[in-house]
Structure 1
């Protein structure tokens, strides 16, 4: 922890800073390029991200979130990045800037219909690795097939 209650985390090519106490996750801010690990200079980190964005306040009689979530999914699909949507999360694969840019646009789509928005993000960052949306599942299925 740094001065003034700021936690700083260094990832290859990025510095992420969190401010606050109980709500630090909701206040994550990318504050610019930080230190890079050896060998990572000039290369972007490929990643697969599971994220969920939904209105925390619903302004319709049915209290249904589907309309707002559909707008977020539309943004993801229009991004052109490999993606999948299931009952709990949307999975998105690509480079850091394009993935988080898409997540921001999807969040903005939900914020357009709700004054309060919930965002959950989990990322697997692996330099130089692609096709993880299918390759990870295929690896598990191959292992299961060996057991049969």
Structure 2
């Protein structure tokens, strides 16, 4: 399964409303998990089995909770049993489709 998620604290008390330290704490947990992952400006995507992926999301969310009085979690999952390597496979297929349409 692929899970794309975004987690951020609110009620941080920071004048600039920045959440980069909290997001860094979450991404550190994702990267240390050893699961395939990718982070962009909006989401972090991880790939793995149901229990391992959601354990990482839970721990990342808890880490972000240390930075504010509440946490917002947005999550989207692509559950496709029997498939692996989709974190890059989906993008590779898209690129080939774009190349062939040119």
Q: TM-score, normalised by structure 1?
A: 0.67
SS in 2 for 1:136: helix
Higher helix share: 2
Q: TM-score, normalised by structure 2?
A: 0.96
CA RMSD of aligned residues (A): 0.8
Which of the pair has more CA radius of gyration?
1
- Which of 70, 75, 82 is the aligned partner of 1:121? 75
Instruction: Work out whether 1:48 is the aligned partner of 2:2.
Output: yes
Q: Hey, which bits of structure 1, 4+ residues long, moved more than 4 A?
A: none
Q: Which runs of 5+ in 1 are unaligned?
A: 1-46
In the alignment, what sits opposite 2:17?
63
SS in 1 for 2:48: strand
Task: Work out the CA distance in 1 between the residues paired with 2:67 and 2:98.
Answer: 43
Task: Work out the CA distance in 1 between the residues paired with 2:11 and 2:4.
Answer: 22
Task: Work out the CA distance in 1 between the residues paired with 2:17 and 2:97.
Answer: 42
Aligned residues: 102
In the alignment, what sits opposite 1:30?
none
1:114 Cα offset (Å): 1.1
